[in-house]
Amino acid sequence: MQTDDNTRHAEKMAKIKVARDKMMQDKQGEKGLIVVHTGKGKGKSSSGFGMILRCIAHEMPCAVVQFIKGGWDTGERRVLTTHFGDLCRFHVMGEGFTWETQDRERDIAAARAGWEKAKELIRDPDIRMVLLDEINIALRYDYLELDEVLAFLRDEKPPMTHVVLTGRNAKPELIELADLVTEMEQIKHPFRAGIKAQPGVEF
């Protein structure tokens, strides 16, 4: 019985392996991807930082522009700039969440300065991945012009550069342009049970 189970398992897995190897063989293309992480769930920024960590592991120069800085300290910035400042450039452009500042002009100016920096980094032929953290918030509030961002990504992004754009409420036109889109859906969140934001989890 145990042996039958094992034989069946081996046969099933062998079939999966053949199918998978064939699928992967067909995928030979390489290109710089436009990646979007959106949705209301957690993991949009942290998986962006996980990708930055992968780039660092491969010694691929990369960069982060944070469009909206949280009220809390951001641990990622500290650890990335302290240990990998030579591989990863880091720019914090936002002044805090929008409901903290209540100053639309200042938010717009910060978002536009962030976008100018982002264009400079994306154009830099040495940089292989640029994470535009929470840029979707700036696009949603019309702090940045969607058409300008889309046109730049489509026409001026170097072909092999990856650009990762995070934040909830990604614009449909951005999703349309992107190569890889993941929606993080919130199934359960501890805030609802009265648990506050904690280090390591939220920041």
Restricted to residues 72-111, the positions that interact with a second copy (CB under 8 A) are 75-76, 78-80, 83, 98-105
14 binds a second copy (CB under 8 A): yes
Q: Which of residues 173-192 bind a second copy (CB under 8 A)?
A: 175, 178-191
Cα separation, 22 vs 24, in Å, equals: 5
Q: List the 88-92 sheet strands across, edge first.
A: 34-38, 162-166, 129-133, 62-66, 88-92
Q: Mask: binding to a second copy, 150-169, rule CB under 8 A, as x and -?
A: ------------x-------
Min dist CB 93 to a second copy, Å, is: 18
Q: Mask: binding to a second copy, 26-65, rule CB under 8 A, as x and -?
A: xxxxxx-x-xxx-x-xxxxxxxxxxx-xxxxxx-x-x---
* DSSP 8-state assignment for residue 191: G
What the block records as the tokens of 175 is 């999703």
Min dist CB 162 to a second copy, Å, is: 6
Min dist CB 59 to a second copy, Å, is: 9
Tally of CA atoms within 13 A in the half-sphere of 156 that contains its CB: 12
Cα separation, 71 vs 111, in Å, equals: 17
For the chain, give the number of residues: 203
22 binds a second copy (CB under 8 A): no
